[in-house]
Amino acid sequence: MNPHCRLTIVLLVLAVLLGSSEASLGREQTEVTRSTRRLSWLRTDGPWIVDEQGNIVILRGCNYMGMEFGWFSHREEDFVRMAGWGFNVVRLPIAWRYVEPRLGEYDETYLEKVDRVISWCRENGLYVVLDMHQWNWAPKFNGNGLPDWAVEAYASQDEAKAGFWKNASSKQRFAEMWRRVAERYKDEPTVAAYDLFNEGNVDYARIPAEEFKDLLYGFYEDTIRAIRSVDERHIVVYMPPWGNDMSVVRRIDASNVVFSTHLYTGGTWDGTTGYTVDKAELERDMLRGYRQAVEEWNIPLWIGEFGVGSAAYRAQEWASDMLSLIDKYMLGSAWWSYWRDDSSFGLLYENGSEKRALIDILDRAYPQACSIPPSSFSYDLPNRFFSLVTSQPPEPVSFSLTLHIPPGLKEDRVVFCNATEWNSSWSPKSHTLLITATPESFSVAVQLSPPPGAYLERLKSLEQESATLRAQAKSLSQTALAFEALAAILALAFAVSIVQRARKSRRARSPPV
């Protein structure tokens, strides 16, 4: 690595851990109320989703299954609970079967139930991603998705799938159905996006993969055109076959779109298979979608489904490793699913109590909104330590960060920011910390309930970095690079002294044992 790059990175990390000066201790106020009755419109901007003010919005939450089967057990308290877990989005599976149960007839009663869920989400600060779902294609094949009238000519699920993809009239009916739905919600900003069709697929023995690629992505484009005829504002989400078959993929010809993948790496999709692979395999699976969407196409990637059965082998480790990778690549995501069961994907037990082993992993510190694109953020769950570093803006701009902090971890919180002047305000209702700062380049860190020895471990780490930098400085030539190295060493030495003073002060304040 180039020494100049390393010094820059180390200084950013140092600022995350310590702040740049004693002024970085900042001031914290408490915000008593927050209105969630109108959410900001969202749109895409390069690889990010942003709000009306241009703030980057990270959508984290879960799917709430049921309506795709025609079930409606949803209650407002469910959405209050999800908001309390730090979620800001619900992916809501619905189905063509119930939107248009008879050809040309739309079920107003069903759509009014969708309206009710959207209103509950709005009141609790939750966005909605409307997901036109299918699983096993249709009720006729013991699943959900397509209406009976669209599959009555087919004897098997595989035959029905192939017949749909090759039937222009059926696909036009689907696009028209989406146009009706979009017309209904075109003025509703609580609806973050339309997720066009869940895990569309076919038997490649019936339609070869290359032919299916043209059919699937042409279908997406035709459906988007129908939506855009009445609604030019909402984000549209699309995905590869089965949600993660990256061998059959292409970018669609449309704007304001998000690419989505579904991650059940290692076969956890069945709700019983556990963590039988390793974290490296989880990352490889995630990177297949990330490299395509973010790096090649410069559009957002959203993990629309991921999950593991709660009673499966090493389920908590799988969830923790997956969430740490979702943090690493700064992605939004939705767990499958908010439901009640004793051993599968649901976040509640049959008796309605919470599966805390999973929820404590999902309810984590993360940036819900940030005014400057982050270059990295992470949450160290065991040590309750969150850090974020922003990209360098092309010109000075004011900085703001809305950070979700899990309930019960407000006390003993220590906030660091490397801006010269900054403030923070705490919202007890939403469990968010709003940090604002003067125009600079920024690093922010929050330590929650630090365990014994945390400061000492951090000091040792910094001392090691300082020694490494001194060794590097000896090999630098007498150029401006050498002066930068010297400045970095001095900054590190100053920071170490701050930690030492803080440790002495902490000891002085500690009551005698």
Say how far apart CA 83 and CA 120 lie, in whole Å.
11
Residue 73's nearest CA partner among 65, 63, 84 is 65
Asked if 26 and 83 sit in the same domain, the reply is no
Asked if 286 and 328 sit in the same domain, the reply is yes
Residue in this structure with the two tokens 């730090």, named with its chain if needed: 86
Across 1-54, where does the E strand assignment appear? 27-30, 43-45, 48-50
Burial of 37 (0-12, 13-18, 19+ CB in 10 A): exposed
Asked if 327 and 424 sit in the same domain, the reply is no
Asked if 355 and 502 sit in the same domain, the reply is no
Residue 25 located in a structural domain: yes
Residue 54 located in a structural domain: no
Specify the pLDDT at position 437. 87
Q: If DSSP codes are grouped into helix, strand and coil, which group holds residue 433?
A: strand
Residue 398 located in a structural domain: yes
Specify the pLDDT at position 428. 85
Residue 41 located in a structural domain: no
Specify the pLDDT at position 16. 34
Asked if 91 and 180 sit in the same domain, the reply is yes
Per the CB < 8 A criterion, the answer to whether 210 and 170 are in contact is no
Helix (H) or strand (E) holding 423: strand 422-427
Partners of residue 366 on adjacent β-strands:
404
Specify the pLDDT at position 421. 83
Residue 330's nearest CA partner among 302, 305, 357, 296 is 302
Asked if 223 and 185 sit in the same domain, the reply is yes
If one counts the domains in the chain, the total is: 2
- Three-class SS of 308-334: CCCCCCCHHHHHHHHHHHHHHCCCEEE
Asked if 264 and 334 sit in the same domain, the reply is yes
Domain finish residue from 328, 363, 398 = 363
Q: If DSSP codes are grouped into helix, strand and coil, which group holds residue 392?
A: coil
User: Kind of pairing, strands 89-94 and 127-132?
Assistant: parallel
Asked if 405 and 497 sit in the same domain, the reply is yes
Asked if 26 and 75 sit in the same domain, the reply is no
Say how far apart CA 418 and CA 22 lie, in whole Å.
10
Domain finish residue from 338, 363, 388 = 363
Asked if 308 and 442 sit in the same domain, the reply is no
Residue 53 located in a structural domain: no
Residue 35 located in a structural domain: no
Residue 370 located in a structural domain: no
Per the CB < 8 A criterion, the answer to whether 131 and 194 are in contact is no
Its domain, for residue 463, covers 3-30+380-509
Helix, strand, coil % over all residues of the chain, rounded to 5: 40, 20, 40
Which positions ≥6 away from 305 have C-beta within 8 Å? 63, 91, 243, 262, 263, 264, 334, 335, 336
Residue 374 located in a structural domain: no
Residue in this structure with the two tokens 């993990």, named with its chain if needed: 303
How far, in Å, are 136, 202, 380 from residue 206 at the CA level?
Answer: 17, 7, 48
Residue 266's nearest CA partner among 249, 288, 248, 283 is 283
Domain finish residue from 320, 335, 363 = 363
Question: What does the pLDDT profile of the chain (513 residues) look like in tens digits?
Answer: 333 332 222 223 333 333 333 333 344 444 433 344 689 999 999 999 999 999 999 999 999 999 999 999 999 999 999 999 999 999 999 999 999 999 999 999 999 999 999 999 999 999 999 999 999 999 999 999 999 999 999 999 999 999 999 999 999 999 999 999 999 999 999 999 999 999 999 999 999 999 999 999 999 999 999 999 999 999 999 999 999 999 999 999 999 999 999 999 999 999 999 999 999 999 999 999 999 999 999 999 999 999 999 999 999 999 999 999 999 999 999 999 999 999 999 999 999 999 999 999 999 999 999 999 999 999 998 888 888 888 767 676 788 999 999 876 655 577 888 777 888 898 888 889 999 987 666 677 777 655 445 544 654 554 455 456 555 545 554 555 555 656 666 666 665 666 566 555 545 444 444
Specify the pLDDT at position 229. 98
Kindly report the CATH number assigned to the domain that includes residue 223.
3.20.20.80
pTM of the model: 0.83
Asked if 460 and 317 sit in the same domain, the reply is no
Per the CB < 8 A criterion, the answer to whether 195 and 132 are in contact is yes
CA atoms within 13 A on the CB side of 58: 28
Asked if 344 and 467 sit in the same domain, the reply is no
Helices (H), 138-167: 148-151, 157-165
User: How far apart are the two ends of the chain, measured CA to CA in Å?
Assistant: 48
Structure-block tokens of residue 19: 């702040």
